Structures are given as C-alpha cells and as structure tokens.
Amino acid sequence: MNYEGRGQRLRQIMGEKQIDVCLIWDPDNQYYFSGFRAISYSRPIVYLVCKDQTDLIVPALEELHAAEKARGSHIHVYYEQIEMAHKESSYRDHLDKLLARYPKGARLGVEMNSLSAGMFLYLQKKGFELADIGLFIMEMRFIKDSDEIALLKVAGQLSDYAVAESLSHARVGISELELDAYGDKLLLEMASDLYENDIIGYENWTCSGPNSVKPHLYSSTRKFEPGDVVIHSRQVWFNGYRAENERTFIVGKPTEKQKDLFKLAVEAQRVGMEMIKPGIAAREVDLAAYEVFKKAGYGEYVNHRIGHGLGLTEHEEPYLRFDNSLVLQEGMVFTIEPGVYVPGVGGFRHSDTVILTKEGSFSITQHTRNVEDLIFQ
C-alpha cells in the first residue's frame, strides 16, 4: 500500500489549509494512513500527523502489534497495570505531551464526524483552533488505487463463493442465521486454502417472509416458510477492503406478482449498472433506476437510494442519491442496489459492487441475478 503517498497528500492538504497537525481518530482512517488497525473498543488509539513525523498512541496490549504494522510512526504506549502507574496510564497523558509542542492558537485538523464531543471540548480547551479535515480524507478515500482494487477483487470473488453456498441450502425450514452460516463456513475454508496470512471479515443480514419488506434487519432464528421472499445481504472484506453482494430469492412457488417485482428490481439494477461510469453525476444513476420502478407504478415502494461508496467502511461516501450532484470518477467503487418493498408481497433487492474504470465500470460480484435461478423449491 502506498502509505507514503497518502501521507504526502495529507500534508499537502494540511499546507493548503494551514493546518499544523492532524489528529486522526477514525479507525478506518488510521488504517488507511498507517496500515495499523486494532480491535479497539474501550481503549482509544490516536494517530497524529504533523509536517515531519507521525505519532501513534496505543494501549500496552497493542504495543507489539503497532510496532509491526505502523512502521515509521513513533509509538507511545499507555498502561493499565499498577507497576506502570508512574508512567502514562491514559492516552490523554501522551496526547497532552505531544500537543504541548504546538503554540496556543495552532490549527489542529480533526474529523468532525468521528471525533467525540468530549474530545472536541478537551482539544478546544487547550487553545487549538479546530478545523475539519475529515471531508478531505474522505475525498482521498473516494478513489481507489490499483493495490486497493486488487484487494476488492479478492473480496468480490470470495463473496460470490459464500453467496452461492448459502443459497444452495435455501429451503423451507432452515433459519435466516443457518443460511448465513453455510456461506460463512465455505468462505473461511476457501479463503484459508487460497491465502496464507490474510484477514477475512464477513457480515450477513438475511430478512425473510414478512421481514423482507424491512430493508435492514439483523438475521434471526426465523425459519423459511413456503412462498417466502428472502433478501440475503453479505459483505466480505479482505485485509479491510469490502465487497457487498446481496441476492433476493424465493423459497417455494412465487406468485406472478412476486416474479414481476423481482424482475423489476433486476431491471432497475441493470439500468443502474449500465449507466454508472466516470463523468456522470451520482444523482443520475439513482434517478435512472428509480424511473424503472416509477414507470411500473411502484415509485412509492422505494425507500432508499440506489447505492453507496464502498472500501474500508460498510457505507462510504459518495452516495448515489437523488440530491448528490458529484461527478463520478475512475477508481470510485459503489454498490448498485435499487430496492422495492411492497407489504404483503415482499422486498426485492440485489446488490453488486462495481468499480469505475476509464471505459465504464465492472462488477466484482457476479452471482446470478435471474429470478429463474433464484427460486428454491
């Protein structure tokens, strides 16, 4: 990964915005710049970037991990055992010292959307002038380079294996969570066969029957019943980079109306995938897919945008939304997932992950989208 180039670009932005030092709080941004990502929870990790060095504040249990991954950073360790009580026992002990290098009124770049209000007040009290750097980091992350795209492609391929395996077990009587588990197991076996020392992450949400009209639900122990429409959603990430892969399917015999709506959602997705390319505005992709639903008389049953950016975070900007006029560029990555949700009939949504190229775009997820292949008797 081009950590050096990312650091240079951040410093260039800092120069333009007259920012003396950046405090990076968001774990995905920390990983983006340093290559280090911890399971942090209740132990804060802080990454500081100034003109000529980077400092990483970590709890003691991350000391070895940070030394291995965040090469080039000065690592500052805080402790939570009594024999080290004379040293730093909180991230703030280090932060106080590191920030004391800057004069009152220095400009400190922070991510206003990730930093907590408590931290904001703490930094403000020190006399810093706080400026939002989050937007600029987000914009850097919009465009994926070839290293990132290589990881995304692996994630996409792995997600296809997992979706295929889960769906091969679709039948009356198995639960949403069991469906998820089949795909997970194969995913992790395949990945372990193919890769040596890599991190695979996975998340699933399967909503079945009456719950398929609620687009975002955690999977439950509900068992499939004859005639259920089911939306199986899956994200797989490979060393942090995520592919999203979602398929609607039907257990048992669908009604004609269900088949029609299924095909309508497939068509809306096809339109969106065909339209997305560099040079087009985000809103146009959303509106084109929406138009498919509207023309068929189902506009009122659409309740979300057609897609979102994807990379290190579950949902990233830019959003493919009716009011976003951002012009898309080569190297951006999006989900294309128009959905229609009709109470009493079912919810219908596929999601694929597409990468924008000079020529247009291609999908890194390929599982079949046809209704005929997604009915399980």
Residues from 183 through 202 that contact a copy of itself (CB under 8 A): 184-185, 187-189, 191-192, 194-201
Q: Judged by CB under 8 A, does residue 150 bind a copy of itself? A: no
Q: Distance between CA atoms of 354 and 331, rounded to whole angstroms?
A: 10
Map the footprint of a copy of itself across residues 325-354, applying CB under 8 A: 341, 343
DSSP element (H, E) containing 353: strand 352-357
Minimum distance from residue 334 beta carbon to a copy of itself (Å): 13
Q: Judged by CB under 8 A, does residue 75 bind a copy of itself? A: no
Q: Distance between CA atoms of 284 and 275, rounded to whole angstroms?
A: 8
Among 46-54, 93-101, 265-273, 318-326, the segment contacting a copy of itself (CB under 8 A): 318-326
Among 10-18, 141-149, 180-188, 326-334, the segment contacting a copy of itself (CB under 8 A): 180-188
Residue from 136, 133, 143 nearest 48 by CA: 133
- Residue showing tokens 């992350």: 141
For a copy of itself, the closer of residues 322 and 368 by Cβ is: 322
Token digits for 30?
A: 């920390």
Map the footprint of a copy of itself across residues 267-306, applying CB under 8 A: 286-287, 290, 294, 299-300, 302-305
Q: Distance between CA atoms of 228 and 220, rounded to whole angstroms?
A: 15
Q: Distance between CA atoms of 159 and 181, rounded to whole angstroms?
A: 13
Among 73-81, 145-153, 251-259, 273-281, the segment contacting a copy of itself (CB under 8 A): 73-81
For a copy of itself, the closer of residues 118 and 372 by Cβ is: 118
Q: Judged by CB under 8 A, does residue 86 bind a copy of itself? A: no
Q: Distance between CA atoms of 309 and 329, rounded to whole angstroms?
A: 12
Q: Which residues of 299-338 are buried (b: 16+ CB within 10 A; e: fewer)?
A: eebbeebbbbbbbbbeebebbbbeebebebebbbbbbbbb
Contact pick of 28, 93, 129, 178 for a copy of itself (by CB under 8 A): 178
Contact pick of 11, 65, 263, 277 for a copy of itself (by CB under 8 A): 65
For a copy of itself, the closer of residues 280 and 368 by Cβ is: 280
Map the footprint of a copy of itself across residues 89-148, applying CB under 8 A: 89, 110, 112-121, 130, 132
Q: Judged by CB under 8 A, does residue 174 bind a copy of itself? A: yes
β-pair type (375-376, 241-251)? parallel
Which DSSP letter does residue 330 get?
Answer: T
Map the footprint of a copy of itself across residues 229-268, applying CB under 8 A: none
Q: Judged by CB under 8 A, does residue 362 bind a copy of itself? A: no
Q: State the amino acid at position 257 in one-letter form.
A: K
For a copy of itself, the closer of residues 196 and 372 by Cβ is: 196
Minimum distance from residue 368 beta carbon to a copy of itself (Å): 24
For a copy of itself, the closer of residues 37 and 369 by Cβ is: 37
Cis peptide before 338 (omega within 30 of 0): no
Distances (CA, A) of 214 to 217, 245, 349: 7, 18, 11
